[in-house]
Structures are given as structure tokens and as C-alpha cells.
Chains A and B, each alone.
Chain A
Amino acid sequence: MAMRLYLAVGCGAAIGSLARFLSGYVIVSQLGLNALYSTAFVNVVGSWIIMAFATLTGPDGRLMVGPASRNFVMAGFCGGLTTFSAMSLDTFILLFEGDLPLAATYLISVVGLSLAAAWLGYLMVSRFNRLPKGSQANG
């Protein structure tokens, strides 16, 4: 049972990490944006998904899933997609280069936007959970 949970988290984290790597490739190499944007992007998106999914599959949620599926998405995929280490390293490099204003702006924006995205995910799905069952196409 524990083995199954670990495997679910590991596979989810592998896929999430690959998604982070590929989105970084698109944002930096294809769109030509600074790498700071790719770290911000995955952190904001992953924070929305984890809170939306937690609310959807929580006690008042509409979707019932087992612990392995829940951990595959939350601790696995979202954990792998988001990264605190790259964000901290980016901030440190900006400080090291002497750009304190940009370092502070970057760290505060990414942490703030990630928290706001998580809050939005919670609000959107809570609203969806409260809709009358009959209004759903496949209720």
C-alpha cells in the first residue's frame, strides 16, 4: 500500500518535472523570454492545480478518488511541476549580480502570484462543488 503511494508520487513528479522542463524550453527557447518567466509560470499553474484538485476531491468535493490518485496529482505532478529551488537560485543570482530591486520584486511576485492562483483555484472549485447536482450534464 505504502509502496503504491510512493510509486504514484514518483511517477507524478517525473511527469510534472518533464512538463516543467518542456514548458521552460517553449518559454525560453521558442518564445525568447527570460528564464525567470518559466519558473514563475510553472509555480503559478501548479499552485492553481493543487488547490483546485484538493478542493474537487476533498470532503465536500464532487470527485471521489483514492489516496494513490490524489497523491499522484498533488504531491506528484504538482510537486514536480513547481520548484522552490529554481526560484530561490534565480533570486540569489539576481542578488549576486547586485540587482536587489529585481530580486525582491521577482521573489515577492512569484510567491504572491502562486498564493493568489491557489486561492483562485479554491474559490472556483468551491463554487463548482456547490452547484446543484442536476445542473451538471452527466450529473
Chain B
Amino acid sequence: MTLAACALVLIGGFLGGISRFFLSGVVGRGIGETFPWGTLLVNVSGALAIGAFAGAARIHGGIFASDLFRDLIVVGLFGGYTTVSSFCLQTLNLALDGEGRLAAFNIVASSVLCVLFVALGFWAVLWMAG
């Protein structure tokens, strides 16, 4: 726990939050905001990336296994990029609007796809490394 670590988390979180806001905005404006596709895409892509980095840390070690990388990229950037709060807000809003099926679909799709894409990212890196 150092000031440098806190600064890295702040920088990563800043960039991650802005990327999420940008991407979910683009998706929402593009295909409508009835179903929160933007947040789903953000969380699934963040899961793929975090899985790939976990794979890289396991195989290559080095920079990928360093504290600097963990604080800036894993905790800051992808922690700030992905979100559970917007997922809950949008799921409840679907349920409150009487779209119970879509709300249930969002819960199952987000939970299953995110774990699946962590695995996909992890195994893809292991496979590419031979």
C-alpha cells in the first residue's frame, strides 16, 4: 500500500471509467437502450481482457505478474471499466418496467458470459504460447 500504487489505481480507474461511458454510450445510441447491451459488452470484453492477462501472468510472469501491472491495469483500468452497479440498476429498471424476462436474461447472460470469457481469454493465451 503505497502512494504510487494509489496513483496507478486512480489513473487506471479514470481511463477505465471513461472507456466504459464511451462504449456503453455508443452501443446505447446505436441499437437502443431497451436492453443494456452496452454494459453487457463492457463487462464481457473486460472479462476477456482480464482472463488474457491472468494467462499472461501465469505463462510469462515478468511485467504481467508485477505490482505495477496489477495496480494500473487489473485493479485500475479493468476494475474501473467493468461494473456491477450499472448492471444492477439496469436489471432492476427492466424488472420495474414489467420486463421480467429481459431482467432474468440479463442476470444469467452477464454472469455466465463473463466467467466464460475469462476462461476464453486465459486459455487463448495459454494456447498461443504453445
Chain A interface residues (CB < 8 Å from chain B): 5-6, 9-18, 20-22, 24-25, 29, 43, 46-47, 49-51, 54, 71, 74-76, 78-89, 91-93, 95-96, 107-108, 110-111, 114-115, 117-119, 122
Contacts and interface: CB of A to CB of B under 8 A. Distances in A.
B1 interface: yes
30 contacts: A6-B18, A10-B14, A12-B17, A14-B9, A14-B80, A17-B14, A18-B13, A21-B71, A25-B1, A46-B84, A71-B21, A74-B89, A78-B86, A80-B13, A85-B78, A85-B81, A86-B82, A87-B114, A88-B51, A88-B114, A88-B115, A89-B47, A89-B50, A89-B51, A107-B111, A107-B115, A108-B111, A111-B107, A117-B88, A118-B91
Contacts of A114: 84-85, 87-88
Contacts of A5: 21
Contacts of B17: 9-10, 12-14, 16-17, 75-76, 79-80
B119 interface: yes
Contacts, number: 190
